Chain A
Amino acid sequence: MEEELMSFAPRPAVQPWARVNTGRRIQILLASIVPILLTAAVILVTGLDRNVALMGVFLPLQLIAASAVGFRAFGRRGVGDAALIVFVVFFATFVLVLLASVVFSLVSQGAQAMSWGFFTQNNRYVSNTTSLEYGGVGHAIIGTLLVVGLTTVVTVPLGIAMAIYLTQSQSKTKGIIRTLTQAISGLPSVVAGLFILSIAITLDWQKSGFLGSMALLPLMLPTIARVAEEALRLVPVDLRYAALALGAPNYRAFFQVILPAAKSGLVTAILLGVARIIGETAPLILTVPISNGTSWDLFSGEIMTLPAYVYNYLGSAFVPSQNRAWGGALVLMILVAILFGSTRILSRSKSLKSKPTKEKASK
């Protein structure tokens, strides 16, 4: 009785087309491993330079091996496919290895400088040879928060207002404004600094953190405007129509209906804008005098920022200073990663929320 019942149990899904026969699997495995082993052997035996071996021995061997497998499986066209796959994987891995190298070296080199003191202290009494226990990026963190903060406070309303205009109005200049915004986004960062410098020279202003904030503005504005416009565009147009049909003037329809619906997208725009400028160095070098002490004054005097900090200690021949540069870079990257991660979390929670909940049975 039970066997008969069992025969009605649902069978696990089978995908006959995805089955790769074991013979082929072994071939692919061999084709991947053998070239590696052979190359390693060649390096050990002949002492050939690693890089030459990679390009001159491994790659050709891998190509041959993969082509052989491809040929056996699919004939002539299998060779083309195999070559394509080998090159694509090789190049892609290359990039990912480079990225991993950046992150790894940041973490490993920067870790040396990490300590609670590093985050909170400044470098007022620190010279090139002072050991890593003393000093830190406290002043640079404060400076970055102030400078970037000012830019953000000015640019965010500007960028969002631009996005509102681009999505809500029917004027004919919209296309030109978009083109201009795109042109601004192509502004090299050093030229942004030169621009503010030009203003400062013309008006005889002193260099200050404020000028640095203004130099960052044209770099932040296009990002915010673009992402905010996309966020506003994503709001379904029938929400606006529904609000207008109820007798709403445009501005109320916007603030009460469209803006709340686009909230997470707008927050993403802000985060991305901040991430874009928080690491910008060149504009600050040109407009902001640096200091080793902590400053809270954006409008006069010297102030240190994280990118300027790294730039400052980068070129030093002294090891402690170089370590400080790594430490500062690591702090900078942590900040960028936090901003970046927040946008991912935001977008994931938004897509979870907008999944339609199961329809309840209507009575």
Chain B
Amino acid sequence: MSESSVTKPAPVRRKLSAGPLSTGDKWFFRTTSIAANFAFVLVAFILIFLFIQALPALTSQGLPFVYGTEWNTQQEPIVMQIGPMIWGSLLIGAIGVVFATPLAVSLAYLIVFMLPSRLAKVATTLVDLLAALPSVIIGLWGLFVFSPVASEWGAILNKYLGWIPIFQVKSADNGFGGSPFIAGWIVAIMIVPIITSITREVFSQLDRDLINGALALGGSRFSTFRRVIFPTSAGAVVGGVLLGLGRALGETVAIFYVLQITFNINWGQILEPNGGAVASMILSKFGEATQEEVSGLIAAGLVLFILTLGINFIASIIVNRAQPWRKN
């Protein structure tokens, strides 16, 4: 703080080089930088190659590819449209989210606010175990063990609540296996861990002082939840739910054997074995697909990728905005 700074010229900043100096350092930074830029390369490759192989189908089918409802590879020219599949993926994803969210939030609440720390660690490990289970195992279990049980639930819903449109079916004798309802349940099981882990993080990072303050004012568990925990964490939970939705859209094998893929848009009769999902459709048609059909399948994959990219993007914005303390 010199007194005579008025007359002194402004100091000239020097060029500071904190960059790599020795040859060893140069190679170090060069190699890691190449590796990091591989991310660009990979994303570019994915989009480019998918697009190249999807182009024939996209040009021959045009825009109706995305919203049309016909898939006929027997006629000439063949028609490939994935409208019902996209709708089905969204429907199943939505059902999955509706089922998964209360389950996941409850688990998170239990772990953070109710269990003593040792049991909480066990519960967290169990949830992580659920996340680690490969989807083909869930598919196996889903087909042989869960599907019959869920069909029972579907039958009950149809029997007692069948007057509500979404629970209506053409014929209750068809059984309920293969319906979006069951697929939605399986998808729900797969995305519970994602939602739970984000919710758990938000809950445990809640300012303890806020909660203690609410309790000190005479709040109870429920009122604290309603007025403090829920409002503060709602944003991040929504983000987590969207992430789960993104994951659900990509589920292939878990619901493959449980779905009956038909090319009619299942507008909302979730108990009806009707409709499908993009990922599972790709897998099912792949085995005997001709070159043209393969192009259509790749195009379907491209559409699915763009869809999940969009949802994941929105989800991560919401999660980051809702948790400003999280350095992503």
Contact = CB atoms under 8 A, between A and B. Distances in A.
Interface of A: 49, 51-52, 74, 77-78, 80-81, 83-85, 87-92, 94-96, 98-99, 101-102, 105-106, 109, 157-158, 161-162, 164-166, 168-171, 173-174, 177-178, 180-184, 186-191, 194-195, 197-199, 201-202, 218, 221, 249-252, 254, 275, 278-282, 285-286, 307, 310-311, 314-315, 322, 325-326, 329, 332-333, 336-337, 340, 344
Given A98-B189, A307-B136, A250 B20 contact: yes
Nearest to A178: B328
A157 B252 CA distance: 29
Question: Interface SS of chain A: helix, strand, loop or mixed?
Answer: helix
Given A81-B221, A249-B25, A281-B136, A162 B304 contact: no
Question: Interface SS of chain B: helix, strand, loop or mixed?
Answer: helix
Nearest to A76: B220
B253 A281 contact: yes
30 contacts: A51-B153, A77-B220, A81-B220, A91-B103, A91-B106, A95-B189, A96-B123, A99-B126, A102-B138, A102-B145, A169-B32, A170-B18, A174-B36, A191-B301, A194-B282, A194-B298, A198-B52, A198-B54, A249-B20, A250-B25, A252-B24, A275-B132, A279-B134, A281-B252, A285-B283, A311-B253, A329-B137, A332-B137, A333-B134, A344-B125
Contacts of A188: 249-252, 279, 301, 304-305, 308
B217 interface: no
Contact of B220 (A78, A221, A333, A337): A78
B264 to A, nearest CB: 22
Contacts of A168: 32
Given A83-B222, A187-B46, A187-B305, A177 B137 contact: no
B222 A322 contact: no
Interface of B: 18, 20-22, 24-25, 27-29, 31-40, 42-43, 45-46, 49-50, 52-54, 102-104, 106-107, 109-110, 114, 123, 125-126, 128-130, 132-141, 143-146, 152-153, 156, 160, 189, 192, 220-223, 225, 246-247, 249-253, 257, 279, 282-283, 286, 294, 297-298, 301-302, 304-305, 308-309, 312-313, 316, 328
Contact of A190 (B43, B146, B282): B282
Contacts of B316: 182
B297 A181 contact: no
Contacts of A201: 53, 294
A340 B38 contact: no
B154 to A, nearest CB: 10
Nearest to A194: B301
Given A171-B33, A194-B301, A281-B135, A202 B49 contact: yes
Nearest to B36: A165
Contacts of A252: 24
Those 7 A-B pairs whose CB atoms lie nearest each other, nearest first:
A279-B134, A188-B250, A80-B222, A161-B35, A251-B28, A91-B106, A165-B36
Contacts of A189: 135, 250, 252
Given A92-B106, A249-B21, A286-B286, A105 B141 contact: yes
B136 A310 contact: yes
A340 B33 CA distance: 31
B301 A340 contact: no
A190 B283 contact: yes
Counting chain A CB atoms within 10 Å of each CB, the highest count among B34, B46, B129 belongs to B46
A89 B298 contact: no
A95 B106 CA distance: 10
B137 A88 contact: no
Contacts of B21: 249
B312 to A, nearest CB: 4
Contacts of B286: 285-286
Contacts of B43: 180, 183-184
A19 to B, nearest CB: 17
B185 to A, nearest CB: 9
B49 A198 contact: yes
A252 to B, nearest CB: 7
A162 B22 CA distance: 21
Given A184-B42, A314-B143, A169 B33 contact: yes
Nearest to A94: B103
Contacts of A314: 136, 139-140, 143, 257
A250 B28 contact: yes
Nearest to A75: B220
Contacts of A81: 220-222
A98 B321 CA distance: 33
A252 B24 CA distance: 8
A294 B32 CA distance: 38
Nearest to B46: A195
Contacts of A158: 35, 38
Contacts of B133: 102, 279, 333, 336
A222 to B, nearest CB: 9
